[in-house]
Structure 1
């Protein structure tokens, strides 16, 4: 099944995120060790969050992939949102640690030692992060994985932070203005606080059963309209996202005299059509006889398709 291969791919990506995060953390701490720069230390502290987040993402994605059971009949998909929430909280903790380290340096600023070597090491770490962030965000969207997407966006914010730190330290070295170093650390803290809020907000949307994106809903409506032959119409369409899964629910009106078998055939055809545009979608169709009062979102059946 395509969904099984998606789950396996998501788990593999999450696993490889752990050694890569450790590698980047090691490079950034090495850059701080050779320079003593508070800004580079703040960049390294954020990478500690990346390591923890990568481990959490791997564990949660594995749990979310578990099949439905008696205790969780709708599956474990939403577990991925908890990974994103945990990552958001860790980002806030990292920001507070950075400010804690920056305050003494603001009071007694000094220029970093061996700056060019430290900047080169930090640049290498930034390149590794940039490539991995691109891979995670692209895969997270394709696999509908909130945990991978959140991790990718966080790492991307880390890349932006690293670029800002590199530019600022170059300016500090060129001008001899040592206070720029701790001020950059505070800037890093503010930036990752903002990124942490965005990660948490996206997760809350998922936990609150947010509807699918407008283009995805339009594709679902088009699939229903083109494949509802024999029905009298569809109404009360609802969609929601839960991690990598999409749930689709709607009512289908049929002639009161239509046999159950014919109505079931229409349902099968509609389910196949919807899964063509959204593989693995979880679909519930309520069949009702004509004369029932319709409500909610209506989907017009294509002309010439009614019987």
Structure 2
């Protein structure tokens, strides 16, 4: 439970950081829009507004999933993470399609590929990249530590903003120095493909969790090894696993000496559960004890 509480705090911190960065970028881009009147700044402002909507939805899902189990949700609320991740993935796929389509259109009409930039716009672009880099770094750390798909999907969405921004700076430099105007749409298409691939991967994981698919074979084998080698456990069977959000539910039957006391059998089961949790701290383990 302590590990679960720590994970919830990490996930919530990532959600709050995402909303805060989106708010800061909206404020900065509003200022830049008033200063420059540039349509390109207006477009990035609209993108940041979408980021804020996505981040608010992700934060709500993380907060709801962190709620403890109750009478109506005996296994907790972590499935909300998978539902939110699916929604985010659909949004990312739509964004990738729009970005890729715009890049293809610009490649087909090279006369429209004349980039322009002003000082205020460049400053805001630099601020956007710096804040996004910091946010994505923290989100990746949290996603690795907790396995939260909502945080991973939100991170992917911000990477979708980061990659084109970095590519745009390189494309602008190449355009000014060498007249290579085609680099900008190529970067956009590459970013769209990266976003789509990542979205499909996260979406598949969320779908598998909602369909109660078993966890990966390595984790199943690891649990079986712990049970097989555990002292006084004569055997095991009916190992069942499923994932919900960042939590893994494990049900396991172990075979014990039927002549020992209930207290002794309970102590063996409790120790085995602690051993499994020590290796897989995100698991929720139920052990049923059968006589040999």
TM-score (norm: length of structure 2): 0.81
Q: Aligned residue for 1:203?
A: 206
Within-5 A mapping of 1:261-280 = 261-279=263-281
Q: Distance in 2 between matches of 1:92 and 1:42?
A: 19
Displacement, 1:58? 0.8
Q: Aligned residue for 1:13?
A: 14
Q: Aligned residue for 1:142?
A: 145
Displacement, 1:100? 7.2
Q: Aligned residue for 1:93?
A: 94
Question: Residue 208 of structure 2 aligns to a residue in which SS?
Answer: helix
Pair 1:48–1:94, CA change in 2 (3 A): farther
Question: Residue 123 of structure 1 aligns to a residue in which SS?
Answer: helix
- RMSD of aligned residue pairs (Cα, Å): 3.4
Unaligned runs of 5+ in 1: 291-307
Pick which of 52-61 and 252-261 moved more.
252-261
Displacement, 1:101? 6.3
Within-5 A mapping of 1:19-58 = 19-27=20-28, 34=36, 36=38, 46-58=47-59
Q: Distance in 2 between matches of 1:98 and 1:29?
A: 22
Kept in 1, the 8 Å contact 2:237–2:252? The answer is: yes
Q: Tell me which of 124, 146, 154 is aligned to 1:121.
A: 124
Displacement, 1:127? 2.1
Q: Aligned residue for 1:301?
A: none
Displacement, 1:188? 4.5
Number of equivalent positions: 288
Q: Deviations over 1:80-128 (max 9, x none)?
A: 1111111112223334554676658965515233356534432331121
Pick which of 246-255 and 43-52 moved more.
43-52
Q: Distance in 1 between matches of 2:37 and 2:181?
A: 13
Within-5 A mapping of 1:1-307 = 1-2=1-2, 3-27=4-28, 34=36, 36=38, 46-98=47-99, 103=105, 107=109, 109=112, 111-115=114-118, 118-176=121-179, 178=181, 181=184, 184-213=187-216, 216-226=219-229, 228-279=230-281, 281-290=283-292
Q: Deviations over 1:148-207 (max 9, x none)?
A: 122223323432232222222222233445565556555544443344333322322332
Larger % of helix: which? Answer: 2
Kept in 2, the 8 Å contact 1:34–1:113? The answer is: no
Pick which of 19-28 and 50-59 moved more.
19-28
